[in-house]
A and B are shown apart, each in its own frame.
Chain A
Amino acid sequence: MTAYLQAIGIVSLIYALLALGLNLQFGLTRLVNFGVVAFFAIGAYTSALLALAGVPLLLSFAAATVLAGISALPLGLLSLRLREDYLAIVTLGFSEAVRITLQQEEWLTKGVQGLPGIPKVFASLGPAGSDTALFFILVAATALVAWGTLRLTRSPLGRLLRAIGDDEPALMALGKNPTKFKVQIFMVGAALSGLAGAFYAHFITFISPEQFLPLVTFYVWMGLIMGGSGSVRGALGGAVLLMIFLEGSRFIKDFIPGVSEVQMASVRLAVVGLALILVTMYRPNGLFGKTTT
């Protein structure tokens, strides 16, 4: 039982990292990034390919984070010119472009066959020990990122960023140039997604392009909004909530008799959909967000 809960914990923390990254981008600077999964994928593949080539995990994780961050530069620059709904589709398109490229360039990524046998962290501890180690590393990493984000939010830079989100023309009138900051924040958010991707790859031990569909991005958004965007608490709480819905709905079938096992899959999807609708309608600030707008 504990191993199962630990696995859920690991996945929740991976989603938490993704949500924290998105929270930086959207929560602070109102950048609508619908391409989260692109950086997730870049991080996962970078770390996996390097690790399979023998590179020590610490380095491969670092490379994954850095590469994901850098790859966000072109999008970051583009984002300056586009209104939020236009940016949404462009970032979405970028994530699909990344996925398709990963799928087609077999010489690099083994294409649709995927990469099996990715080494686990601290593999010498055996599978159970490795998962426990990964769990604690993730807790530490998430805590660190959460703390870092909080410090950033409360710093002068953070206040400036909140200002960008809220009133850009005024800022520019004051002579402040938000451009550089926006791009930097975009890249930091992407780097966090890349780090999450590395954790993911070394946990599942098998990655393939079809695991990096836009649906992942939607889930992260769901988590962030349900939790309450703009706050670290919201990002963390949202990730937990997301997991409760995605995994918890699995257990519903034990409570509803007379429904075939096949139909339960539909019920699960219905529960997630209904939850989304209800939370956005009745708790617009999210369940863990600030109580004032």
Chain B
Amino acid sequence: MDRRSLLKLSSAAAALQMLPGFVFAQATGSFRVGSLCPVTGAGSPYGPGMQQAIRMAVDEVNAAGGAAGVKLELFSEDSQTKPDAAVLAAKKLIEVNKVQALLGTWASGVTLAVMPLTDAAGIIEMNTSGAPAISTLDTKDLVWRYQATNDRFGQAFAEICKKNGYKRPATMAFNNASGLGNTQGFTKAWEAAGGKVVAHVTYEPNRPSYRSELQKILDAKPDVIVTGSYLPDTTIILREWFQSGTPVKWIMPGWAASPDLVKALGNEVTEGIISVDSVSNEKSKSYAHYDELYTKATGKSGSTNVYAAMTYDMVVVLALAIEAAGPGATTEQVNAKIREVGNPGGTPVFTFAEGKALLAKKEKINYEGASSKLDFDKYGDVTPDFGVYVIEKGEFVRKDVVSIPPGV
């Protein structure tokens, strides 16, 4: 290598070395939180909102005086919804920013790639992913899942179908772990109860049209179509379905059947769609509180992004656990308090400030979150109730609540 190129190469390397030195003041006296949301990539409809929800929760906690006497310090990175990009981002957060908790991973692939890193570093991980493997690989009990597992969702779908008297369901799944997971969970539960799924199709992302896939389903004459889908593809499918004129009912997860769907398609198309979402008590104060903050921060209703409610709760639960563990606690000790502040056995509280006040009086609390009641099972997975909403004239009307027993 000649001298010129050697010079160029070493100055480039030196520049890279210098950059981080500027920016990472090791702030002592703060609890460092990392956020790793899918700001770009497949999760981009949800990632920015998720990241902002974390930011607003952190600000709220700090405004209330922090937790256990320290402020929360937030470091945000974009996972790009890609496992390899997420690994590097996680490494940066863990090694450079020295975060003590990593929140907001959305795609199962991202969570699965990042878990070994957080486990090795002994830090808390909180995610909204659906894959079953996350529960089984969580050997150190440091990983907390704020979204119902695919299986649970599928069971909820099956329960709803049964209650509504549907006999001939068909399924449509977005070809990724979560989409397929949801419909497979449904099929498993439905067939276990003796039913039969009349047709299934797995469709590819980023296609301009799903007419042939939809046609295959409609040809089997189902009375209801259960989907594991996301907003963009659902928009396309519904638009094509409506224009085809075939009557059929739809059951979808809340991240697909959201106000944005109504906005895109209008009231007529979306009339009667059943949207399923994990939920806490109706008119719960925590949801209203989160909604208010979210609307102020983003200009959109909190119901447009169910994952943002989950990430908001992540920060609140974490802060309450820090508070409960007391000043100077280790990450492990904080981790041990998470079930304590989230699970039944204490006074229900609905905001961080409320919880902090009661903890100061040495009382036990049970934070009922904005995204669900946040009761964690032995795997660290939430076991939420599911809210069944029907879209009527563009509004989401809550019709029912479905409970899946935690042991399942």
Contacts and interface: CB of A to CB of B under 8 A. Distances in A.
A in complex with B:
yes
Interface of A: 1-5, 7-8, 11, 103, 111-114, 116-117, 126-128, 200, 203-208, 210-211, 233, 237, 240-241, 244, 247-248, 250-251, 254-255, 261-262, 264-265, 268-269, 287-288
Contacts of A111: 180
A261 B39 contact: yes
Given A113-B133, A244-B12, A250 B89 contact: yes
Contacts of A1: 20, 95-96
Contacts of B220: none
A29 to B, nearest CB: 24
Majority secondary structure of chain B interface residues (helix, strand, loop or mixed): helix
Contacts, number: 117
A204 B175 contact: no
B96 A117 contact: no
Given A206-B113, A262-B52, A288-B8, A127 B120 contact: yes
29 contacts: A1-B95, A3-B91, A4-B96, A11-B88, A111-B180, A112-B177, A113-B133, A113-B180, A114-B177, A127-B120, A128-B120, A203-B87, A204-B113, A206-B83, A206-B112, A208-B109, A208-B177, A210-B109, A240-B9, A241-B12, A244-B16, A247-B16, A247-B92, A248-B16, A250-B89, A261-B39, A262-B48, A264-B78, A288-B8
A244 B15 CA distance: 9
Given A200-B84, A288-B8, A113 B177 contact: yes
A4 B181 CA distance: 33
Nearest to B4: A291
B133 A261 contact: no
B84 A204 contact: yes
Contacts of A287: 8
A103 B91 contact: no
B201 to A, nearest CB: 13
Contacts of A240: 9, 12-13
A242 to B, nearest CB: 11
Nearest to B89: A250
B92 A250 contact: yes
B139 to A, nearest CB: 11
Given A208-B109, A262-B48, A113 B131 contact: yes
B331 interface: no
A264 B75 CA distance: 13
Interface residues of B, number: 51
A240 B223 CA distance: 57
A245 to B, nearest CB: 10
B83 A262 contact: no
B52 A116 contact: no
Leading 7 A-B pairs by shortest Cβ distance:
A4-B95, A127-B120, A262-B48, A254-B23, A206-B113, A7-B91, A3-B95
Nearest to A2: B95
Interface of B: 1, 5, 8-9, 12-13, 15-17, 19-20, 22-23, 39-40, 42, 47-48, 51-52, 55, 76-78, 80, 82-84, 87-89, 91-92, 94-96, 108-109, 112-113, 116-117, 120, 131, 133, 137, 175-177, 180-181
A254 B40 CA distance: 19
Given A4-B91, A103-B175, A233-B1, A262 B39 contact: yes
Contacts of B22: 254
Contacts of B8: 237, 287-288
B136 to A, nearest CB: 9
B176 A112 contact: yes
A204 B92 CA distance: 15
A233 B5 contact: yes
B1 A205 contact: no
Given A211-B84, A240-B12, A114 B96 contact: no
A2 B39 CA distance: 27
A116 B116 CA distance: 10
B263 to A, nearest CB: 20
B177 A205 contact: no
B112 A114 contact: yes
Among A117, A127, A247, A265, residue most surrounded by chain B Cβ atoms (within 10 Å): A265
Contacts of B175: 103, 112
A116 B131 CA distance: 11
Nearest to A127: B120
Contacts of A237: 5, 8-9
A254 B176 CA distance: 34
A248 B19 contact: yes
B99 to A, nearest CB: 12
B77 A250 contact: yes
Among B19, B23, B47, residue most surrounded by chain A Cβ atoms (within 10 Å): B19
A210 B80 CA distance: 12
